[in-house]
Amino acid sequence: MTRFKSILALADFSPKSDNAVRRAALLARQHRATLHLLHVVEPAPLVDVASWPTKRPDAEIRAARAHRSLATLATRISKELRVTVRHGVRTGDALAEIRDLARSMDLVVIGAKRTNPLREFVLGTPTERLLRILERPILVVKLPADTDYARALVPMGLSPDSDIILQMTANALSGAALRMCQAPSDPAEENGVTGDHASPILEQQSALGSELIVIAKDGHSVISDFLLGTVAQRLIAGASCDVMVLPRTAIDGFMVTTSHEQKHSPMNRRREVATAPSTAAAASARGRARTGLSQ
């Protein structure tokens, strides 16, 4: 996560969704990235086959409406914030369609909302289900997206890669003031089943007025992956600000990219040239060694 090149925002035309799209557009402008808007129309479970010759299927009608609404939204956002916007409507299972498109994105942006309480109790909120299946950074938007982020909070101690997460956040939010809060890490609690590290983080966020919390999702544990991990889950549910969750793959990818960039940086190449003897100097040194002469 050095710079975002492609950002995916999920649009369902609700006020919270429109706000999330605007936050995605602000980040796209900051990173000079392409903003992709996606709306998914889920087909009706039952279709009246007898009505097909005279009546268009409901999903087809909803998809046509969504195309028009999404095109209007894309045009408005593009003109207002001067960003490149692409948009598309897909028909099918929402999670599957989002996962398919998200594979080619650097960031997925969604608005926080709740739907059916019983379904959420069994399967989790739509946000939590996306966090389980996507291997891309996800930004959950809660605050009004009026300006670029000015203050972000990075909890330290929850992950052995806290320093890397801090560096990733600094790269993604150039110009924002970053604050750190120390959250004690207990190995017995790393499976995401016990412990409450979220409350101190939420208290710090409230005291500092941070607009964003950035935290890692540990995907190594099956239990943690299913329950999402109590820390991330409680932060998403309880935070009054936006929350960005970084998966393990994003952290590993950043480390590889950073190592490659440092290895091939101009400064590093100059050091290699300065420390490596020239061919002529090396040949002269070998000749002196054979003749017993010194310089």
Those residues whose C-beta lies under 8 Å from the C-beta of residue 286, and which sit 6 or more positions away, are none
pLDDT at 114: 59
Which of 78-92, 151-165, 235-249: highest mean pLDDT?
Answer: 78-92
224, pLDDT greater than 50? no
Residues 227/233, Cβ–Cβ less than 8 Å: yes
Q: Is 261's pLDDT higher than 70?
A: no
pLDDT at 86: 98
Q: Using pLDDT thresholds of 50, 70 and 90, give the confidence band for residue 265.
A: low
Q: Percent of the chain at pLDDT above 90?
A: 48
| pLDDT classification of 294: cutoffs 50, 70, 90 | very low
Ranking 54-63, 196-205, 220-229, 240-249 by mean pLDDT, the lowest is 220-229
DSSP bridge pairs for 187? none
pLDDT of 223 higher than 60: no
Instruction: State residue 182's pLDDT score.
Output: 82
How much is the pLDDT for 140? 94
Q: Report which residue type is found at 260.
A: H
pLDDT at 245 over 80: yes
Residue 222 has pLDDT above 80, yes or no: no
Q: 183 with 158: CB under 8 angstroms?
A: yes
More confident residue, 123 or 189: 189
Neighbours of 238 (CB within 10 A): 13
Please give the residue that has the higher pLDDT: either 136 or 192. Answer: 136
Assess whether pLDDT exceeds 50 at residue 225: no
Please name each of the domains of the chain with its CATH number: 1-147 (3.40.50.620), 149-295 (3.40.50)
Average pLDDT over residues 192-220: 80
- pLDDT for the residue numbered 40: 94
Which pLDDT belongs to residue 47? 53
Residue 104 confidence (pLDDT) above 80: yes
Edge-first strand order for the sheet with 177-182 is 84-91, 34-41, 6-10, 107-111, 138-141, 242-246, 212-216, 151-156, 177-182
